[in-house]
Amino acid sequence: MGKATKTPAKKATPKKAAPKKAAPKKATESKSINLKYTDKSAGQPELVEIFENIKKMMEPYNKKRSLVLHADKPSQAVLVSHKAVEIEGRKRDELWFVAALVQKGYVGFYYMPVYAHTDLKKEFSEAFVKALKGKACFHIKKNTPEMMADIKKAIKLGYQAYIDKGFI
């Protein structure tokens, strides 16, 4: 008979605790949105003033129809519709309307209605269109009355466009 070889005993793996279930949200709690973002306002006081002006323009639309203003961070404000909609066959539980974020060197004004109504750009001034980088992001670097009037007009036109499409 040959020698019996001992096999090393397997180490017991610790049992993982079952994940805790989150308590159901109360009807009065607002939905939160997920946005990975770091505050870039430090050392840019001129941009904070622009951001605050844009945020003030967004505030009248908070709680209008299905829009909710999420402004939990000091240099981030987002107006989101929490009405369930279907766009081109895709169901969405939330739909962003406009957002303002302090970025490095500019305030990003993100204007989502331009996706639904591409002809909205025709309503904007030449200076405002020049600030457009990409399809829906405006880089706002100057706090001029003309630029602020253009942003206010854009929000108003976008709001009406979203109503016309049934998004809010």
- Weakest mean pLDDT among 14-18, 38-42, 72-76, 157-161: 14-18
For 112-139, write each residue's pLDDT tens digit: 898 888 788 888 889 899 999 988 899 9
Q: Is residue 89 part of a domain?
A: yes
User: Which of 13-17, 26-30, 152-156 shows the highest mean pLDDT?
Assistant: 152-156
| Strand residues in the chain grouped as ranges (E) | 67-73, 76-81, 85-87, 90-92, 95-102, 107-111, 132-133, 137-140
Mean pLDDT of the chain: 79
The residue segments making up the domain with residue 130 are: 45-165
**Number of separate domains in the chain:** 1
* Closest CA relative to residue 77, chosen from 48, 43, 104: 48
Amino acid letter, 16 = K
Predicted pLDDT of residue 26: 42
- Averaged pLDDT, 49-76: 87
CATH code (residue 55): 3.90.1150
**Inter-residue contact 89 to 55 (CB < 8 Å):** no
- Residue 27: which pLDDT band, with cuts at 50, 70 and 90? very low
Q: Is residue 105 part of a domain?
A: yes
- Averaged pLDDT, 56-64: 91
Predicted pLDDT of residue 64: 86
Q: Is residue 136 part of a domain?
A: yes
